[in-house]
Protein backbone atom coordinates (compact mmCIF):
# COMPACT_ATOMS: atom_id res chain seq x y z
CA UNK A 1 0.00 0.00 0.00
CA UNK A 2 1.22 3.49 -0.74
CA UNK A 3 1.89 5.50 2.41
CA UNK A 4 -0.72 8.09 3.04
CA UNK A 5 -3.09 6.68 0.48
CA UNK A 6 -6.57 7.14 1.83
CA UNK A 7 -8.57 3.99 2.31
CA UNK A 8 -12.28 3.76 2.69
CA UNK A 9 -12.77 2.52 6.22
CA UNK A 10 -16.39 3.60 6.48
CA UNK A 11 -18.26 0.59 7.82
CA UNK A 12 -21.73 2.07 7.58
CA UNK A 13 -23.24 -0.41 5.16
CA UNK A 14 -20.73 -3.21 5.06
CA UNK A 15 -20.57 -4.02 8.76
CA UNK A 16 -24.35 -3.94 9.34
CA UNK A 17 -24.87 -6.03 6.22
CA UNK A 18 -22.46 -8.74 7.34
CA UNK A 19 -23.73 -8.76 10.93
CA UNK A 20 -27.39 -8.92 9.99
CA UNK A 21 -26.90 -11.41 7.17
CA UNK A 22 -25.04 -13.78 9.44
CA UNK A 23 -27.43 -13.38 12.31
CA UNK A 24 -30.35 -14.18 10.03
CA UNK A 25 -28.45 -17.22 8.81
CA UNK A 26 -27.89 -18.29 12.41
CA UNK A 27 -31.59 -17.94 13.21
CA UNK A 28 -32.58 -20.03 10.20
CA UNK A 29 -30.00 -22.73 10.87
CA UNK A 30 -30.79 -22.84 14.59
CA UNK A 31 -34.47 -23.07 13.71
CA UNK A 32 -33.84 -26.05 11.46
CA UNK A 33 -31.24 -27.85 13.54
CA UNK A 34 -30.78 -26.81 17.16
CA UNK A 35 -32.86 -28.20 20.02
CA UNK A 36 -32.33 -28.68 23.75
CA UNK A 37 -30.42 -31.78 24.78
CA UNK A 38 -32.13 -34.21 27.11
CA UNK A 39 -30.84 -32.62 30.29
CA UNK A 40 -32.04 -29.15 29.33
CA UNK A 41 -35.39 -30.25 27.93
CA UNK A 42 -38.58 -30.14 29.97
CA UNK A 43 -39.01 -33.85 29.23
CA UNK A 44 -36.11 -34.50 31.62
CA UNK A 45 -38.62 -34.99 34.43
CA UNK A 46 -39.71 -38.18 32.67
CA UNK A 47 -36.22 -39.04 31.45
CA UNK A 48 -34.93 -38.99 35.03
CA UNK A 49 -37.39 -41.68 36.00
CA UNK A 50 -36.49 -43.83 33.02
CA UNK A 51 -32.80 -43.49 33.88
CA UNK A 52 -33.42 -44.11 37.57
CA UNK A 53 -31.76 -40.83 38.55
CA UNK A 54 -32.63 -40.02 42.13
CA UNK A 55 -31.18 -36.53 42.26
CA UNK A 56 -31.40 -33.40 40.14
CA UNK A 57 -27.69 -33.08 40.87
CA UNK A 58 -26.99 -35.74 38.24
CA UNK A 59 -27.80 -33.17 35.57
CA UNK A 60 -24.58 -32.31 33.72
CA UNK A 61 -25.36 -28.65 34.40
CA UNK A 62 -24.11 -29.01 37.98
CA UNK A 63 -20.91 -30.78 36.94
CA UNK A 64 -19.90 -28.20 34.37
CA UNK A 65 -21.70 -24.89 34.78
CA UNK A 66 -19.22 -23.28 37.19
CA UNK A 67 -16.36 -24.22 34.86
CA UNK A 68 -18.34 -22.95 31.90
CA UNK A 69 -18.71 -19.55 33.51
CA UNK A 70 -14.98 -19.40 34.20
CA UNK A 71 -14.23 -20.25 30.57
CA UNK A 72 -16.78 -17.65 29.48
CA UNK A 73 -14.92 -15.01 31.51
CA UNK A 74 -11.62 -16.07 29.96
CA UNK A 75 -12.94 -15.63 26.43
CA UNK A 76 -14.64 -12.27 26.90
CA UNK A 77 -12.77 -10.54 29.72
CA UNK A 78 -9.55 -12.56 29.62
CA UNK A 79 -8.73 -12.29 25.94
CA UNK A 80 -10.56 -8.97 25.56
CA UNK A 81 -8.70 -7.12 28.27
CA UNK A 82 -5.35 -8.84 27.71
CA UNK A 83 -5.33 -7.06 24.34
CA UNK A 84 -6.11 -3.61 25.76
CA UNK A 85 -2.41 -3.03 26.41
CA UNK A 86 -2.14 -0.83 23.32
CA UNK A 87 -2.48 2.83 24.24
CA UNK A 88 -5.11 3.70 21.62
CA UNK A 89 -6.76 0.40 20.76
CA UNK A 90 -8.65 -0.52 23.90
CA UNK A 91 -12.09 -0.16 22.31
CA UNK A 92 -11.05 -2.34 19.40
CA UNK A 93 -9.44 -4.94 21.64
CA UNK A 94 -12.42 -5.41 23.93
CA UNK A 95 -15.12 -4.53 21.43
CA UNK A 96 -14.02 -6.53 18.40
CA UNK A 97 -13.17 -9.49 20.61
CA UNK A 98 -16.73 -9.22 21.93
CA UNK A 99 -18.15 -9.08 18.41
CA UNK A 100 -16.21 -11.96 16.93
CA UNK A 101 -16.71 -14.18 19.95
CA UNK A 102 -20.46 -13.52 20.08
CA UNK A 103 -20.78 -14.48 16.44
CA UNK A 104 -18.30 -17.33 16.72
CA UNK A 105 -20.08 -19.15 19.53
CA UNK A 106 -23.27 -19.31 17.48
CA UNK A 107 -21.53 -20.70 14.46
CA UNK A 108 -19.48 -23.06 16.62
CA UNK A 109 -22.63 -24.47 18.22
CA UNK A 110 -23.73 -25.43 14.73
CA UNK A 111 -20.41 -26.69 13.33
CA UNK A 112 -19.44 -28.68 16.41
CA UNK A 113 -23.04 -29.76 16.78
CA UNK A 114 -23.12 -31.33 13.34
CA UNK A 115 -19.93 -33.22 14.11
CA UNK A 116 -20.57 -34.27 17.70
CA UNK A 117 -24.17 -33.79 18.86
CA UNK A 118 -26.21 -34.64 15.79
CA UNK A 119 -29.07 -37.06 16.35
CA UNK A 120 -32.09 -37.71 14.14
CA UNK A 121 -31.51 -34.57 12.14
CA UNK A 122 -31.18 -32.31 15.18
CA UNK A 123 -28.29 -30.84 17.12
CA UNK A 124 -29.02 -31.41 20.80
CA UNK A 125 -27.22 -28.90 23.00
CA UNK A 126 -26.36 -28.67 26.66
CA UNK A 127 -23.80 -26.99 28.86
CA UNK A 128 -20.93 -29.00 27.37
CA UNK A 129 -21.76 -27.60 23.94
CA UNK A 130 -21.61 -24.07 25.34
CA UNK A 131 -18.13 -24.80 26.72
CA UNK A 132 -16.97 -26.28 23.45
CA UNK A 133 -18.31 -23.29 21.53
CA UNK A 134 -16.37 -20.99 23.83
CA UNK A 135 -13.27 -23.16 23.33
CA UNK A 136 -13.60 -22.98 19.58
CA UNK A 137 -13.94 -19.22 19.69
CA UNK A 138 -10.88 -19.13 21.94
CA UNK A 139 -8.82 -20.19 18.95
CA UNK A 140 -10.19 -17.22 17.00
CA UNK A 141 -9.38 -14.85 19.87
CA UNK A 142 -5.82 -16.19 19.73
CA UNK A 143 -5.54 -15.55 16.01
CA UNK A 144 -7.02 -12.09 16.55
CA UNK A 145 -4.02 -11.39 18.77
CA UNK A 146 -1.67 -11.68 15.81
CA UNK A 147 -3.58 -9.22 13.63
CA UNK A 148 -4.75 -6.92 16.42
CA UNK A 149 -4.98 -3.33 15.28
CA UNK A 150 -4.49 -4.05 11.60
CA UNK A 151 -7.84 -5.34 10.39
CA UNK A 152 -11.40 -4.14 10.04
CA UNK A 153 -14.26 -5.70 12.03
CA UNK A 154 -15.57 -7.22 8.80
CA UNK A 155 -12.29 -9.01 8.24
CA UNK A 156 -12.56 -10.37 11.75
CA UNK A 157 -16.07 -11.66 11.13
CA UNK A 158 -14.99 -13.29 7.88
CA UNK A 159 -12.00 -14.85 9.59
CA UNK A 160 -14.22 -16.11 12.41
CA UNK A 161 -16.59 -17.77 9.97
CA UNK A 162 -13.78 -19.68 8.29
CA UNK A 163 -11.68 -20.37 11.34
CA UNK A 164 -14.57 -21.82 13.34
CA UNK A 165 -15.32 -24.08 10.38
CA UNK A 166 -11.73 -25.26 10.06
CA UNK A 167 -11.39 -25.63 13.82
CA UNK A 168 -14.37 -27.95 13.87
CA UNK A 169 -13.03 -30.07 11.05
CA UNK A 170 -9.62 -30.30 12.69
CA UNK A 171 -11.19 -31.12 16.05
CA UNK A 172 -13.25 -33.85 14.44
CA UNK A 173 -10.19 -35.38 12.82
CA UNK A 174 -8.28 -35.34 16.10
CA UNK A 175 -10.93 -36.40 18.55
CA UNK A 176 -12.97 -38.78 16.41
CA UNK A 177 -10.71 -40.10 13.67
CA UNK A 178 -7.37 -40.16 15.49
CA UNK A 179 -9.08 -40.73 18.87
CA UNK A 180 -6.73 -38.25 20.49
CA UNK A 181 -7.16 -36.76 23.98
CA UNK A 182 -6.98 -32.96 24.14
CA UNK A 183 -9.38 -31.72 26.80
CA UNK A 184 -7.57 -28.41 27.36
CA UNK A 185 -6.92 -27.89 23.67
CA UNK A 186 -3.12 -27.57 23.45
CA UNK A 187 -3.43 -28.82 19.89
CA UNK A 188 -6.96 -28.00 18.78
CA UNK A 189 -7.16 -24.55 20.33
CA UNK A 190 -3.66 -23.19 20.86
CA UNK A 191 -1.46 -24.81 18.22
CA UNK A 192 -4.13 -24.58 15.56
CA UNK A 193 -5.32 -21.10 16.54
CA UNK A 194 -1.86 -19.60 16.83
CA UNK A 195 -0.34 -20.97 13.64
CA UNK A 196 -3.53 -20.11 11.79
CA UNK A 197 -3.27 -16.53 13.03
CA UNK A 198 0.44 -16.31 12.28
CA UNK A 199 -0.14 -17.50 8.74
CA UNK A 200 -2.92 -14.97 8.25
CA UNK A 201 -0.78 -12.09 9.53
CA UNK A 202 2.06 -13.24 7.28
CA UNK A 203 -0.21 -13.04 4.25
CA UNK A 204 -1.48 -9.65 5.37
CA UNK A 205 2.09 -8.36 5.84
CA UNK A 206 2.22 -4.56 5.93
CA UNK A 207 5.65 -3.26 4.89
CA UNK A 208 4.95 0.27 6.15
CA UNK A 209 3.73 -0.59 9.57
CA UNK A 210 6.47 1.43 11.25
CA UNK A 211 4.29 4.43 10.36
CA UNK A 212 2.07 3.61 13.30
CA UNK A 213 4.90 2.52 15.54
CA UNK A 214 4.19 5.20 18.14
CA UNK A 215 0.83 3.58 18.74
CA UNK A 216 2.13 0.03 19.09
CA UNK A 217 3.18 0.57 22.69
CA UNK A 218 1.32 0.78 25.94
CA UNK A 219 0.70 3.52 28.46
CA UNK A 220 0.73 3.04 32.21
CA UNK A 221 -3.00 2.51 32.66
CA UNK A 222 -3.43 0.38 29.56
CA UNK A 223 -0.90 -2.05 31.04
CA UNK A 224 -3.03 -2.31 34.16
CA UNK A 225 -6.15 -2.97 32.11
CA UNK A 226 -4.25 -5.73 30.34
CA UNK A 227 -3.35 -7.26 33.71
CA UNK A 228 -7.07 -7.75 34.36
CA UNK A 229 -7.12 -9.98 31.30
CA UNK A 230 -3.93 -11.76 32.32
CA UNK A 231 -5.06 -12.55 35.82
CA UNK A 232 -8.48 -13.86 34.80
CA UNK A 233 -6.89 -16.08 32.22
CA UNK A 234 -4.32 -17.27 34.77
CA UNK A 235 -6.78 -17.85 37.62
CA UNK A 236 -9.44 -19.60 35.58
CA UNK A 237 -7.12 -21.74 33.45
CA UNK A 238 -7.61 -24.69 35.79
CA UNK A 239 -11.30 -24.47 34.90
CA UNK A 240 -10.46 -24.25 31.22
CA UNK A 241 -8.38 -27.42 31.20
CA UNK A 242 -10.84 -29.34 33.36
CA UNK A 243 -14.12 -28.07 31.93
CA UNK A 244 -14.88 -30.97 29.58
CA UNK A 245 -12.88 -33.73 31.25
CA UNK A 246 -14.72 -36.78 32.56
CA UNK A 247 -16.74 -36.27 35.73
CA UNK A 248 -14.93 -36.96 38.98
CA UNK A 249 -11.23 -37.54 39.33
CA UNK A 250 -10.36 -36.37 35.81
CA UNK A 251 -11.78 -32.88 36.35
CA UNK A 252 -10.20 -32.76 39.79
CA UNK A 253 -6.79 -33.81 38.49
CA UNK A 254 -6.86 -31.41 35.53
CA UNK A 255 -7.45 -28.48 37.85
CA UNK A 256 -4.56 -29.46 40.14
CA UNK A 257 -2.07 -30.02 37.33
CA UNK A 258 -2.95 -26.71 35.72
CA UNK A 259 -2.74 -24.84 39.02
CA UNK A 260 0.76 -26.22 39.58
CA UNK A 261 1.98 -25.57 36.07
CA UNK A 262 0.82 -21.97 36.11
CA UNK A 263 2.38 -21.26 39.50
CA UNK A 264 5.77 -22.50 38.31
CA UNK A 265 5.45 -20.57 35.07
CA UNK A 266 5.18 -17.25 36.92
CA UNK A 267 8.53 -17.74 38.62
CA UNK A 268 10.50 -18.66 35.52
CA UNK A 269 8.87 -15.87 33.56
CA UNK A 270 9.86 -13.31 36.19
CA UNK A 271 13.37 -14.77 36.30
CA UNK A 272 13.96 -14.58 32.57
CA UNK A 273 12.19 -11.25 32.14
CA UNK A 274 14.68 -9.73 34.55
CA UNK A 275 17.67 -11.69 33.32
CA UNK A 276 17.26 -10.79 29.65
CA UNK A 277 17.23 -7.07 30.30
CA UNK A 278 20.47 -5.17 30.95
CA UNK A 279 19.13 -3.26 33.92
CA UNK A 280 17.32 -6.30 35.27
CA UNK A 281 13.94 -4.61 35.13
CA UNK A 282 10.77 -6.62 34.62
CA UNK A 283 8.83 -6.14 31.41
CA UNK A 284 5.04 -6.02 31.63
CA UNK A 285 4.72 -7.67 28.23
CA UNK A 286 6.29 -10.81 29.66
CA UNK A 287 4.28 -10.74 32.86
CA UNK A 288 1.08 -10.20 30.93
CA UNK A 289 1.68 -13.07 28.54
CA UNK A 290 4.42 -15.56 29.35
CA UNK A 291 2.98 -16.30 32.80
CA UNK A 292 0.09 -17.94 30.98
CA UNK A 293 2.18 -20.34 28.90
CA UNK A 294 1.99 -22.90 31.70
CA UNK A 295 -1.72 -23.26 31.17
CA UNK A 296 -1.33 -23.80 27.45
CA UNK A 297 1.47 -26.31 27.89
CA UNK A 298 -0.54 -28.74 30.03
CA UNK A 299 -3.69 -28.42 27.95
CA UNK A 300 -3.45 -31.94 26.62
CA UNK A 301 -1.91 -33.71 29.59
CA UNK A 302 -3.63 -32.02 32.54
CA UNK A 303 -6.35 -34.65 32.77
CA UNK A 304 -3.74 -37.41 32.56
CA UNK A 305 -1.58 -38.56 35.47
CA UNK A 306 0.98 -35.87 34.71
CA UNK A 307 1.52 -35.47 38.48
CA UNK A 308 2.06 -32.17 40.28
CA UNK A 309 5.85 -32.21 39.90
CA UNK A 310 5.51 -33.02 36.23
CA UNK A 311 3.27 -29.99 35.96
CA UNK A 312 5.85 -27.80 37.70
CA UNK A 313 8.49 -28.92 35.21
CA UNK A 314 6.28 -28.27 32.19
CA UNK A 315 5.18 -24.91 33.57
CA UNK A 316 8.76 -23.86 34.31
CA UNK A 317 9.97 -24.72 30.84
CA UNK A 318 7.08 -23.05 29.06
CA UNK A 319 7.59 -19.81 31.01
CA UNK A 320 11.22 -19.74 29.91
CA UNK A 321 10.48 -20.56 26.28
CA UNK A 322 7.74 -17.97 26.11
CA UNK A 323 9.79 -15.15 27.66
CA UNK A 324 12.78 -15.91 25.48
CA UNK A 325 10.37 -15.86 22.55
CA UNK A 326 9.24 -12.32 23.34
CA UNK A 327 12.81 -11.08 23.57
CA UNK A 328 14.39 -12.86 20.62
CA UNK A 329 11.87 -14.63 18.38
CA UNK A 330 9.24 -11.94 17.87
CA UNK A 331 11.68 -9.37 16.43
CA UNK A 332 13.20 -12.14 14.31
CA UNK A 333 9.82 -13.24 12.98
CA UNK A 334 8.99 -9.68 12.01
CA UNK A 335 12.28 -8.69 10.42
CA UNK A 336 13.16 -11.93 8.69
CA UNK A 337 9.91 -13.78 8.09
CA UNK A 338 7.64 -10.74 7.79
CA UNK A 339 5.35 -12.10 10.45
CA UNK A 340 3.93 -9.13 12.35
CA UNK A 341 2.56 -10.60 15.54
CA UNK A 342 0.97 -7.77 17.55
CA UNK A 343 0.38 -9.68 20.79
CA UNK A 344 3.16 -12.21 20.43
CA UNK A 345 0.85 -15.20 20.13
CA UNK A 346 3.79 -17.18 18.83
CA UNK A 347 5.25 -17.03 22.31
CA UNK A 348 2.08 -17.44 24.32
CA UNK A 349 0.14 -19.95 22.25
CA UNK A 350 2.14 -21.42 19.35
CA UNK A 351 5.28 -22.69 21.11
CA UNK A 352 3.57 -23.58 24.40
CA UNK A 353 0.84 -25.28 22.35
CA UNK A 354 3.46 -27.44 20.65
CA UNK A 355 5.02 -28.20 24.02
CA UNK A 356 1.55 -29.12 25.23
CA UNK A 357 0.99 -31.50 22.35
CA UNK A 358 4.37 -33.15 22.85
CA UNK A 359 3.98 -33.46 26.63
CA UNK A 360 0.55 -34.98 26.02
CA UNK A 361 1.98 -37.52 23.59
CA UNK A 362 4.74 -38.48 26.03
CA UNK A 363 2.39 -38.68 29.00
CA UNK A 364 0.01 -40.87 27.02
CA UNK A 365 2.82 -43.07 25.67
CA UNK A 366 4.20 -43.71 29.14
CA UNK A 367 0.86 -44.41 30.82
CA UNK A 368 0.58 -47.73 32.64
CA UNK A 369 -2.21 -49.65 34.30
CA UNK A 370 -0.19 -49.48 37.46
CA UNK A 371 -0.34 -45.70 37.57
CA UNK A 372 -3.97 -45.33 36.45
CA UNK A 373 -5.51 -48.47 37.86
CA UNK A 374 -7.14 -50.98 35.53
CA UNK A 375 -10.43 -49.15 35.13
CA UNK A 376 -8.94 -45.72 35.37
CA UNK A 377 -6.59 -46.54 32.53
CA UNK A 378 -9.40 -47.55 30.20
CA UNK A 379 -11.52 -44.57 31.22
CA UNK A 380 -8.71 -42.01 30.94
CA UNK A 381 -7.93 -42.85 27.33
CA UNK A 382 -11.34 -44.21 26.43
CA UNK A 383 -9.82 -47.49 25.29
CA UNK A 384 -13.20 -49.03 24.60
CA UNK A 385 -14.99 -50.37 21.55
CA UNK A 386 -12.76 -50.34 18.47
CA UNK A 387 -10.01 -48.74 20.54
CA UNK A 388 -9.81 -51.41 23.23
CA UNK A 389 -6.62 -52.85 21.79
CA UNK A 390 -4.78 -49.54 21.64
CA UNK A 391 -1.61 -49.45 23.69
CA UNK A 392 -0.19 -46.33 25.33
CA UNK A 393 2.67 -46.10 22.86
CA UNK A 394 0.28 -46.25 19.93
CA UNK A 395 -1.85 -43.63 21.62
CA UNK A 396 1.27 -41.52 21.97
CA UNK A 397 1.86 -41.85 18.27
CA UNK A 398 -1.65 -40.74 17.46
CA UNK A 399 -1.28 -37.82 19.85
CA UNK A 400 1.84 -36.77 17.94
CA UNK A 401 -0.04 -37.14 14.69
CA UNK A 402 -2.63 -34.78 16.12
CA UNK A 403 0.01 -32.07 16.40
CA UNK A 404 1.02 -32.51 12.77
CA UNK A 405 -2.56 -32.45 11.54
CA UNK A 406 -3.30 -29.30 13.54
CA UNK A 407 -0.24 -27.60 12.08
CA UNK A 408 -1.14 -28.54 8.53
CA UNK A 409 -4.72 -27.38 8.96
CA UNK A 410 -3.47 -24.12 10.43
CA UNK A 411 -1.00 -23.38 7.64
CA UNK A 412 -3.31 -24.37 4.81
CA UNK A 413 -6.38 -22.75 6.34
CA UNK A 414 -4.49 -19.62 7.33
CA UNK A 415 -3.11 -19.22 3.83
CA UNK A 416 -6.51 -19.48 2.21
CA UNK A 417 -8.24 -17.24 4.71
CA UNK A 418 -5.37 -14.76 4.60
CA UNK A 419 -5.74 -14.53 0.84
CA UNK A 420 -9.47 -13.88 1.19
CA UNK A 421 -8.84 -11.17 3.78
CA UNK A 422 -6.34 -9.52 1.45
CA UNK A 423 -9.11 -8.61 -0.99
CA UNK A 424 -9.44 -4.80 -1.03
CA UNK A 425 -13.13 -4.79 -0.13
CA UNK A 426 -13.12 -5.25 3.65
CA UNK A 427 -12.31 -1.72 4.74
CA UNK A 428 -9.05 -2.18 6.61
CA UNK A 429 -7.12 0.94 7.56
CA UNK A 430 -3.96 2.35 6.02
CA UNK A 431 -0.68 1.57 7.76
CA UNK A 432 -0.49 4.93 9.45
CA UNK A 433 -3.93 4.45 10.97
CA UNK A 434 -3.34 1.03 12.44
CA UNK A 435 -3.64 0.55 16.20
CA UNK A 436 -5.97 3.54 16.35
CA UNK A 437 -9.51 3.28 17.69
CA UNK A 438 -10.58 6.46 15.94
CA UNK A 439 -10.86 4.63 12.64
CA UNK A 440 -13.81 2.44 13.61
CA UNK A 441 -15.02 3.96 16.88
CA UNK A 442 -16.48 7.18 18.12
CA UNK A 443 -13.74 8.27 20.53
CA UNK A 444 -14.42 10.79 23.31
CA UNK A 445 -13.07 14.15 22.26
CA UNK A 446 -11.43 15.42 25.41
CA UNK A 447 -9.11 12.54 25.87
CA UNK A 448 -8.21 12.50 22.21
CA UNK A 449 -7.13 16.10 22.30
CA UNK A 450 -5.29 15.38 25.52
CA UNK A 451 -3.32 12.56 23.98
CA UNK A 452 -2.78 14.61 20.89
CA UNK A 453 -1.51 17.42 23.02
CA UNK A 454 0.79 15.03 24.80
CA UNK A 455 2.46 14.07 21.57
CA UNK A 456 2.46 17.55 20.13
CA UNK A 457 3.50 19.90 22.88
CA UNK A 458 3.67 22.85 20.52
CA UNK A 459 0.02 22.58 19.65
CA UNK A 460 -2.50 24.11 22.04
CA UNK A 461 -5.03 21.81 23.64
CA UNK A 462 -8.63 22.29 22.61
CA UNK A 463 -10.78 24.04 25.20
Q: Looking only at residues 6 through 25 of this chain, which bind a second copy when binding is defined by CB under 8 A?
A: 10-17, 19-20, 22-23
Q: Please give the span between the terminal C-alpha atoms of the chain, in angstroms, as a whole number.
A: 36
Is 51 a binding residue for a second copy by CB under 8 A? The answer is no
**Cα torsion through 145, 147, 153, 157, rounded to 10:** -70
Told to check if 331 binds a second copy by CB under 8 A, we report: no
Is residue 196 a contact residue for a second copy (CB under 8 A)?
no
For residues 44 and 1, what is the distance between their CA atoms, to the nearest angstrom? 59
List binders of a second copy among 146-165 (CB under 8 A): 153
Is 348 a residue that touches a second copy (CB under 8 A)? no
Q: Is 365 in the site for a second copy (CB under 8 A)?
A: no
CB 270: neighbour CB atoms within 10 A?
17
* Residues 114-143 within binding reach of a second copy (CB under 8 A): 125-127, 130
CB of 268 to a second copy, least distance (A): 6
- What is the closest distance, in whole angstroms, from the C-beta atom of residue 161 to a second copy in the complex? 12
The beta strand positions in 19-160, using DSSP E, are 34-36, 118-119, 122-125
**Phi and psi angles of residue 263, each rounded to the nearest 5 degrees, phi first:** -65, -45
3-state SS, 240-279, equals: HHHCCCCCCHHHHHHHHHHHHHHHHHHHHHHHHHHHCCCC
* SS3 category, 300: coil
Tell me whether residue 143 or residue 250 sits nearer to a second copy (CB atom): 250
Rounded to an integer, what distance in angstroms lies between the CA atom of residue 449 and that of residue 343?
A: 27
Residue from 233, 242, 283, 284 nearest 262 by CA: 233
What is the nearest approach in angstroms of a second copy to the Cβ of residue 219? 4
Q: Which is nearer to a second copy, 325 or 418 (CB)?
A: 325
Q: Does the protein bind a second copy through residue 262 (CB under 8 A)?
A: yes
For the CB of residue 378, give the shortest distance to a second copy in the complex, in Å: 9
Contacting residue, 252, 412, 419, 425, with a second copy by CB under 8 A? 252
Considering only 43, 119, 213, 338, the residue that binds a second copy (CB under 8 A) is 43
Binders of a second copy in range 88-117 (CB under 8 A): 90-91, 94-95, 98-99, 102-103, 105-106, 109
> In a 10 Å sphere around its CB, with 0-12 CB exposed, 13-18 middle and 19+ buried, how is residue 374 labelled?
exposed
| One residue of 171, 223, 341, 428 binding a second copy per CB under 8 A | 223
Rounded to the nearest whole angstrom, what is the least distance from the CB of residue 364 to a second copy in the complex? 13
CB of 237 to a second copy, least distance (A): 10
Give dist(CA 134, CA 139) in Å, integer.
9
Per CB under 8 A, the list member of 36, 114, 172, 383 interacting with a second copy is: 36
Q: Of 6, 336, 375, 389, which one interacts with a second copy (CB under 8 A)? A: 375
Rounded to an integer, what distance in angstroms lies between the CA atom of residue 200 and that of residue 416?
A: 8
Select from 312, 348, 358, 409 the one that contacts a second copy (CB under 8 A). Answer: 312
Q: From the CB of 302, what's the least distance to a second copy, in Å?
A: 11
Assess 291 for contact with a second copy (CB under 8 A).
yes
Which of residues 295 and 413 has its CB atom nearest to a second copy in the complex?
295
Task: Print burial letters for 350-360: b (CB count within 10 Å at least 16), e (below 16).
Answer: bbbbbbbbbbb
Residue 360 found at the interface with a second copy (CB under 8 A): no
Please state, in angstroms and rounded to a whole number, the distance separating the CA atoms of residues 362 and 354: 12
Q: Is the dihedral of CA 451, 457, 462, 463 positive or negative?
A: positive
CB of 184 to a second copy, least distance (A): 16
What is the SS3 assignment for 28? helix
Asked if 379 is part of the footprint of a second copy (rule: CB under 8 A), the reply reads yes
Amino acid sequence: EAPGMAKNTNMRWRLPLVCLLWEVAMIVLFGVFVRFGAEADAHWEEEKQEMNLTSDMENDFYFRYPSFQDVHVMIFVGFGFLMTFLKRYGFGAVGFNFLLAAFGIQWALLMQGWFHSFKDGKILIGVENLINADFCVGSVCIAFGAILGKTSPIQLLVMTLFQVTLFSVNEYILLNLLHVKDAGGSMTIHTFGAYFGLTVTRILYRPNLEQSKDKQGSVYHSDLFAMIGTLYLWMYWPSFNSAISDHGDAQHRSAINTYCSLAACVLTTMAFSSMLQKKGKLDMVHIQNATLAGGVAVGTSAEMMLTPYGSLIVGSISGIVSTVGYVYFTPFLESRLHIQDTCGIHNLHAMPGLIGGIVGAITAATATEDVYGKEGFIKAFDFTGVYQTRTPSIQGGFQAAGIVVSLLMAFAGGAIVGAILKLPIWGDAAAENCFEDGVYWEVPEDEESDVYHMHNPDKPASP
